[in-house]
Amino acid sequence: MKLNLVVLPGDGVGPEVTEQAVRVLREVANIHGHSFHFEEHPVGAAAIRRTGTPLPRATLDACLAADAVLLGAIGSPEFDRLPANQKPEAGLLCLRKALGGFANLRPVNSYAALAGASPLRSEIIKGADILFVRELLGGLYFGEPRGLTSLNGSSTAFNTMRYSASEIERVARVAFDAAMKRGRKLTSVDKANVLETSQLWRQTVTQVAVAYPQVELDHLYVDAAAMHIITKPQKFDVILTENLFGDILSDEAAVISGSLGMLASATVGGVVDLFEPVHGSAPDIAGQGIANPLGAIASAAMLLRHTAGLEDEATDIEEGIRAVLDAGYRTPDIARGTGGCLIRTADMGQLVAEAVADVTDRRHAYHAV
Ligand code: IPM
Ligand code: MG
């Protein structure tokens, strides 16, 4: 299998964690004789510093020509005061729009080895396995009009939450298809008691459900969902929601897995798929070699599964991550309460790469018997 991959390390801890994800992908290529070609480009604050814009044309062109894009993180306090459309984050939003992926898949699992790292009691999170399907190209993030103005002498800011039925339908189908391959349960999250966009959301999801009679559908208001996700996470299978609600709820749900640094994501449905850890650029710990690369590495696993159909290779990476955690290795964010051995970002990448080789060997030996 040949893959042409564009790597966008981005800002803060982005370069450190993507380096480890690439290391693991190289190991997979090595083991299986695949040919993965990596090409790096700047985005976000790194791109502003080099070219004056957060998404240079050359970066976008390379992404559009790639088989998939692997991104690290975006954002830097240095540019916090810029207008929204010039900030590092604008680079990411333009990239998402240009690549066209409207369904952002964010799996959240509880890891037995990390139960102690979660602030939630272990009996609450045990076995929790949720897939968030976050709509990624609509809602408040992209709705027009938006802006700053002055009203009766007072500064006023406004954004527009807008969804069309077809935007809701296409992401709902992705969520139902995912539910069919999992626990066949889908919870749609909205604020239909207040918002028109949510009323259309609920109505449209209910219509899409007709084509999926085997999937049990329920609806929750976002405020109630925020509570249930951390009080009864085992109840959920697939959670479908709009852009901003999905942004907020997926960070909240990270406490189930022990740390935001654990979460991966895949954005699908467009011209080129985009893979990025859910965490941000974490400028406070950037460059120290202590960031958790597992979210980025797990995003690389999702890349192999979703873009290349390399299911065995993807599972081997996920099992490699579990093996390293079971062996007790921890970056600082997941060390609390687990009594593990504290290691650095690069060591974590190396250990996962080695574990992937072991897991693959064992799988081959098993099939040979
Ligand atoms: C995420 C991030 C981004 C978002 C930011 C960096 C623009 O928080 O991927 O969850 O809000 O989508
Ligand atoms: Mg977020």
The tens digit of pLDDT for each residue in 346-366 reads: 999 999 999 999 999 998 888
Supply angle C-alpha 341, 252, 100, rounded to 5: 105
Is 223 assigned a catalytic role?
yes
Q: What percent of the chain has pLDDT over 90?
A: 96
Q: What is the pLDDT of residues 254-276, one digit of tens each?
A: 999 999 999 999 999 999 999 99
Query: Do the beta carbons of residue 125 and residue 105 sit within 8 Å?
Result: no
Token couple for 60 = 């976008």
Q: What is the pLDDT of residues 212-244, one digit of tens each?
A: 999 999 999 999 999 999 999 999 999 999 999
Query: In a mutational test of the pocket of ligand 1, which residue from 70, 92, 137 has the highest number of ligand atoms less than 8 Å from its CB?
Result: 92
Which ligand 1 atom sits closest to the C-alpha of 75? 6
Phi, psi (5° rounding) for residue 5? -110, 130
Task: Point out the catalytic residue in the list 251, 312, 326, 347.
Answer: 251
The pTM of the full predicted model, rounded to 2 decimals, is: 0.96
Looking at ligand 1, which residue's alpha carbon is closest to its atom 10? 247
DSSP 327: T
342 has a pLDDT exceeding 90: yes
Nearest to 308 by CA among 9, 14, 32, 17: 32
Query: In a mutational test of the pocket of ligand 1, which residue from 8, 11, 89, 95 has the highest number of ligand atoms less than 8 Å from its CB?
Result: 89
Ligand nearest to the CA of 136: 1
Residue 90 alpha carbon to ligand 2 centre in Å: 14
Residue 247 alpha carbon to ligand 1 centre in Å: 7
Looking at ligand 1, which residue's alpha carbon is closest to its atom 9? 278
Please give the Cα distance from 298 to 211 (Å, whole number): 32
Question: Do you know the residue count of the chain?
Answer: 369
Is 358 assigned a catalytic role?
no
Task: Point out the catalytic residue in the list 11, 87, 111, 141.
Answer: 141
What's the rounded mean pLDDT across residues 94-102? 98
208 has a pLDDT exceeding 90: yes
Please give the Cα distance from 58 to 85 (Å, whole number): 19
Looking at ligand 1, which residue's alpha carbon is closest to its atom 11? 247
pLDDT of residue 136: 98
338 has a pLDDT exceeding 80: no
339 has a pLDDT exceeding 90: no
Token couple for 322 = 């579990």
pLDDT of residue 149: 95
Query: Do the beta carbons of residue 67 and residue 3 sit within 8 Å?
Result: yes
Mean pLDDT, all residues of the chain: 97
pLDDT of residue 368: 80
Confidence category of residue 38, pLDDT binned at 50, 70, 90: very high
Q: What percent of the chain has pLDDT over 70?
A: 100
What's the rounded mean pLDDT across residues 149-171? 97
108 has a pLDDT exceeding 80: yes
pLDDT of residue 210: 98
Is 235 assigned a catalytic role?
no
What's the rounded mean pLDDT across residues 121-135? 97
Peptide bond into 145 cis (omega under 30): yes
Nearest to 40 by CA among 1, 72, 74, 86: 72
Residue 359 alpha carbon to ligand 2 centre in Å: 32
Nearest to 110 by CA among 293, 302, 338: 338
pLDDT of residue 184: 98
Which ligand 1 atom sits closest to the C-alpha of 251? 10
Q: Which range, of 182-196, 230-244, 335-349, averages the lowest pLDDT? A: 335-349
Residue 165 alpha carbon to ligand 1 centre in Å: 24
pLDDT of residue 366: 85
DSSP 27: H
**Pocket lining for ligand 1, CB < 6 angstroms:** 74-75, 89, 92, 247, 278, 280
50 has a pLDDT exceeding 90: yes
Token couple for 112 = 């037995």
199 has a pLDDT exceeding 90: yes
Supply angle C-alpha 220, 201, 205, rounded to 5: 80
Is 273 assigned a catalytic role?
no
Looking at ligand 1, which residue's alpha carbon is closest to its atom 7? 89
DSSP 67: S
pLDDT of residue 266: 98
Please give the Cα distance from 19 to 5 (Å, whole number): 13
Please give the Cα distance from 27 to 77 (Å, whole number): 35
pLDDT of residue 117: 92
Ligand nearest to the CA of 142: 1
Query: In a mutational test of the pocket of ligand 1, which residue from 247, 251, 279, 299 has the highest number of ligand atoms less than 8 Å from its CB?
Result: 247
CA 296 to chain centre: 9
Task: Point out the catalytic residue in the list 11, 163, 191, 212.
Answer: 191
CB-based neighbours (< 5 A) of ligand 2, an ion:
247
Query: Do the beta carbons of residue 130 and residue 113 sit within 8 Å?
Result: no
CA-CA-CA-CA torsion sign (44, 50, 53, 57): negative
